[in-house]
Structure 1
Amino acid sequence: MKTNANVYVVKRSHAFKGQQLRLPGHRQQQDLKSIKLLAGDGNYTKVFLLDATHPLMVSHSLKFFADQLPGFIRVSRGTLLNPNVIRKVILVHSKLMKLELTTGEFITASRRRISTVLEQLSLPPLKATEESPLGNGINEYSVNGLLDRRA
């Protein structure tokens, strides 16, 4: 089965080199490059680290961290994502976008935030082919290192 997929490789714009975040209630500061994502849970936030098996729980809302981390991307109401952990951006159809992380996990972006996520990643707007949301018309972006487009 042949798919009409667009694959883009883009430059990473967020280095986060040496930047740290102090998590309230925790003694150690965390490097921003070691944070995979933050997930809101009411007035609490779970901080998922790349090298940890369990998330850190912090008694502040996700908005508190969104204001402190302008380089992170709000992919849905409850998820703030480090752009450096995104491997691929896949638009299944016009209202469904999945982000593949470097860890192999998939995060689904909110329907209303698709255009904002693409803009923050410096990717052009996507238009899914009208074929089928079951996989025939998948557009795919690959986020790695250098700017390159393959048709």
Structure 2
Amino acid sequence: MTSLLIICLYLGVLLTLGVASNRFFTGTSKDYFVASHSIGPVLLLMSVFGTTMTAFALVGSTGKAFTSGVGVYGLMASWSGLVHSAVFFLVGIKVWAIGKQYGYVTQCQFFRDRYESNFLGHLLFPILVGLVIPYLLIGLIGAGRVVLPITSGAFPDLFPHP
């Protein structure tokens, strides 16, 4: 019962945030995907880092630490800190500024305009969608794997154990 209460409270907080953000934004795709280019580089770095700290990293790192030892967390933190920061400052800020200047929302728009090739934009779309699908599925599987033991199997139909 406590688990159900915690999950309901969490969903309530998410709904409250959603309703509150609806009052501040216009509801366009540009608002949803890139916050109307209104965030600065620090918040952008934090959101990119937070995006990678999902079930893929959190649940996967726990399993790896179980088999390889606690050093996995240090390795993960150091590489994430170094690689994210380096790529962000060497590439990300420049691409972010160009996207803000020209109003790009997607990578396809950027590469299509950069290389003046509609074909490249059409070629990249299925590739990028194909790369995002496993990432999304890992998030859903990770959520199920976390909710199942937390709720002691209270929702077996919603989160079946494979």
TM range, smaller chain: under 0.3
TM-score, structure 2 as length reference = 0.21
Higher relative contact order (CA 8 A, sep 6+): 1
- Point out the structure with the larger strand share: 1
TM-score, structure 1 as length reference = 0.22
Structure possessing the higher radius of gyration over alpha carbons: 2
- Point out the structure with the larger helix share: 2
